[in-house]
Chain A
C-alpha cells in the first residue's frame, strides 16, 4: 500500500517537474539599419519564420533609409532640389505619402513639429553623419531662414504634382521618419500573419499583441543617469516614443545645444530632458515627442499640443528631474529609481 502511494507521489513529482520547463521565449534579432539599431522581437513564431520576417524588414528599412535620407543623395534630396526651383514637378511615389502625413501632423502640432525647417537643422550642423562640434551659427544666419517662415503649407500638393512657394523650405523628416518606418514594419509583420511583435528602432517602438501569457515589458531609460527610469507594460497595439536632449547634441563654451530645434526661435529647445509619448500610431508618437519637447515644461504650453495631436499619454522629465505626467498613465508607470522622482500630474488629456 505504502509503496503504491510512493509510486503515485513519484509520478506526481514528474508532472510538477515538467511544469518547470523553460517558458517559451520570444524570437529576437538585431539589425543595424536605418542609421540606427532596430530590434525585432516576435512571439509565437518558429526560428525559420522569425528569420524570414526579419530579413524582409531589413530590406524594407534599407529601402526607406535610402529613400528618405535628409542629407545623403537620393529621392528626398532630388525633391528638395526641385522644391527649391519653385517649378511644378511629379513627386516620387516613395516621398509623397511622407509629405502628406508630415503636413497633417505639422498642422496638428501648431507648427511645433515642422519638417520644412531642414535648412535650420543643416545650419546647426545636425544634418551630418558626424556630430557637430560648434560653434553655434550666427544669429543673422538663423534669422535669414526664420524670416521666410518655412512651413509645410508652402508645399502645394496637386494630385501627384508638387510645387513649393517658399525657397526657404527644405524637407527633413528626421523627426518622424523613424515612426513612419516603424508603422510600415508593423504592417509588414501583420501581412505575414504575425500577431505578437515589437519593433524597436533606436529606442522608439511599437508593440502589437503580447509576449505569450503576459504583456510586453518596456523599460524607459533615464535621461540623466545610466539605467532605467520607469517600467511600463504594453499590449494590444501601442507605440512608445521618447525624444531627449541626450540623443544628439554638442557642447560649446559650457552650453549644451541639442538636436531638437524650436522652429519659432531657430534655437535648440532647452526646457526638458526628455519627452515620452504613448499613442497607437508610431509616426504620430514620433512627431508628438518632438512637438512636446519644443513646447516645454509648462502644462499650459504642452497639454494643448498633446490634445490637438491626439496622443494617449505623455511623460515629461524637466531639467530638474521632475516628472510631469498625464493622469491616465498613473496605473501603468512604475518608477525604478531610488529615491522615486517627484511627479506632477497634469489635467487629463
Chain B
C-alpha cells in the first residue's frame, strides 16, 4: 500500500499556513516610510485617528474655535484655524511618517503615523 503524498491533515495545515501568510501580509506590510494614517491631537490627547486614503474635512474644536483639517489623496493639512499667525496653515501638506503640523494657540495638532516612519522627529 502506497501512502498518499498529502494526508488530509497536511493539506489543511498547508491551507491554514497560506491563509495566515496572506492575512499577516495584508495586516502588517504597509508602505513603511509613507504614512497611511494620521492622528489628530487636542491638548496633547488623541481626538481622532484618520485614514489618509479616505478624503474628508474635519472641524476640530479647540479653545479658540474650530480648526479646519483636510484629508486628501494620502495627505493631510490645516486649511484654516482661529489663530493669529496661521503657522499651522503655512506648514502645508503632510504625507511622510513623522511629519507634524501644530496650531499652538488652538492646541490642535496633526501627525502622520507610520510603522517605520521616515522621520522620528522634525527640526524647524
Chain A residues packing against B (C-beta within 8 Å): 2-3, 6-7, 10, 13-14, 17, 20-23, 26, 29-32, 35-37, 39, 41, 130-131, 198, 200, 203-205, 207, 211, 216-221, 225-228, 231, 240-242, 244, 246-248, 276
Contacts and interface: CB of A to CB of B under 8 A. Distances in A.
B115 A242 contact: no
Contact of A17 (B13, B24, B43): B24
Contact of B115 (A23, A198, A226, A247): A23
Contacts of A130: 84
Contact of A30 (B20, B41, B96): B41
Contacts of B119: 217-219, 228, 231
B116 A23 contact: yes
A195 B6 CA distance: 53
Contacts of A6: 6, 10, 14
B117 interface: yes
B109 A30 contact: yes
B40 to A, nearest CB: 11
The residue among B10, B85, B118, B124 with the most chain A CB atoms within 10 A of its own CB is B124
Contacts of B91: 226
Nearest to B7: A3
A86 B115 CA distance: 58
Interface string B66-80: 000000000000000
What's the dominant secondary structure at chain A's contact region? strand
Given A37-B102, A131-B84, A200 B10 contact: no
Given A37-B109, A219-B99, A226-B92, A32 B121 contact: no
What's the dominant secondary structure at chain B's contact region? loop
B123 A242 contact: yes
Contacts of A21: 28
B24 A220 contact: no
Q: Which 6 A-B pairs have the closest CB atoms?
A: A226-B92, A203-B124, A219-B119, A221-B124, A200-B121, A30-B44
Given A2-B5, A32-B43, A226-B92, A39 B21 contact: no
A276 B90 CA distance: 20
A150 to B, nearest CB: 28
Nearest to A225: B92
Nearest to B32: A23
A26 B119 CA distance: 12
A252 B3 CA distance: 90
B104 interface: yes
Nearest to B116: A23
